[in-house]
Amino acid sequence: MTSLAFEELRMKGWTVLRNCSDSGDIEELVKVTRKRYHNELHQTGDHFSKIDLESWTAGEAPLSLRLSSRCLKLCLSPSLQEFLKSYYQQFESNVELFLHLAPALRVVSSGDRGALVSPHNDYFYNRHLSRAVGNAVPFLTCWFGLAGSSRTHGGLRVWDSDRNRRPWGVLGDNESSSMLNFLSERKSHVVEWETGDVVVFEPWLIHGSVGHDSPSPRISLDARYFSRGTTSSRHYLRLADGAHFEPLTGPNAP
């Protein structure tokens, strides 16, 4: 499985790691996310944080939940770490892995057909992470579908790309001529995945979402991982020992 996933990632810019997350861990995170989402978005009172309410309204869980042990436990899955370490060993002999903080835990309301993520690549939203040093991949995005998504309800869509013509210049503006030209020339695919799978993709990959019209809220988690070949100007975590580094400090400071 690992060698096939490596080849898919190298050639297509994305791959799916099957059964990479523990179902019990996912169930726990989904349960607490749904409870807080209902309580904090649909009820009012002085005991609810205005900042937390603004986060839910914007479609993202509050920072306290994104940095909770339940959320980080999924991000630190041993099988995922094993894959990432093996992947980066293609580029570096002494691999250290890091996690950008905080991971994004996203919630989309039931039947919100307007919750369509426009095509983009992750460089646009993660410019605090440097590009490649030499031929190394600067960072990898891992997307965990947790609840309420399927092929037709809020799934992940990706666009074909030739490895030798990576769209470095195509950023987040889906109205730009470069983006429109790219989308018109490429086929798109909806990624087939099930709960427990993790979709891994490189930062140049153009991706978006399928419109969400499921009766259940869509809950997903996405995180950015990188090695010593990448610098970060924000908070990050070293996977080996859990050490937390403040912005502009630590081994991966610019």
Beta bridge partners of residue 226, listed in sequence order: 98
The phi, psi pair for 28, rounded to 5°, reads -65, -45
The predicted-structure confidence for 131-151, as pLDDT tens digits, reads as follows: 655 556 779 999 998 876 665
- Quick check: is 201 in a domain? yes
The label of the residue with tokens 């994104």 reads 66
Helices marked H in 119-191: 177-185
Q: Per-residue confidence at 169, pLDDT binned at 50, 70, 90?
A: very low
State the Cα–Cα distance between residues 208 and 57, nearest whole angstrom. 20
Whether the predicted model's global pTM rises above the 0.85 cut: yes
Query: What average pLDDT does the segment 222-235 reach?
Result: 88
- Quick check: is 208 in a domain? yes
Query: What average pLDDT does the segment 24-29 reach?
Result: 92
- Quick check: is 245 in a domain? no
The predicted-structure confidence for 45-76, as pLDDT tens digits, reads as follows: 544 566 666 677 667 888 889 999 999 999 99
Q: What total number of domains does the chain contain?
A: 1
Q: Per-residue confidence at 98, pLDDT binned at 50, 70, 90?
A: very high
- Quick check: is 126 in a domain? yes
The mean pLDDT of the chain is: 79
- Quick check: is 170 in a domain? yes
DSSP state at residue 163: G
The DSSP string of 48-105 is S-HHHHHHHHTTB--HHHHTSHHHHHHHT-HHHHHHHHHHHTTT-SS---EEESSPEE
List the CATH number of the domain containing 87. Answer: 2.60.120.620
- Quick check: is 250 in a domain? no
- Quick check: is 9 in a domain? yes
- Quick check: is 199 in a domain? yes
The residue length of the chain stands at: 254
Kindly list the strands in the beta sheet with 207-209, ordered across the sheet, starting from the edge strand earlier in the chain. Answer: 188-190, 156-159, 207-209
Range of the domain at 188: 2-240
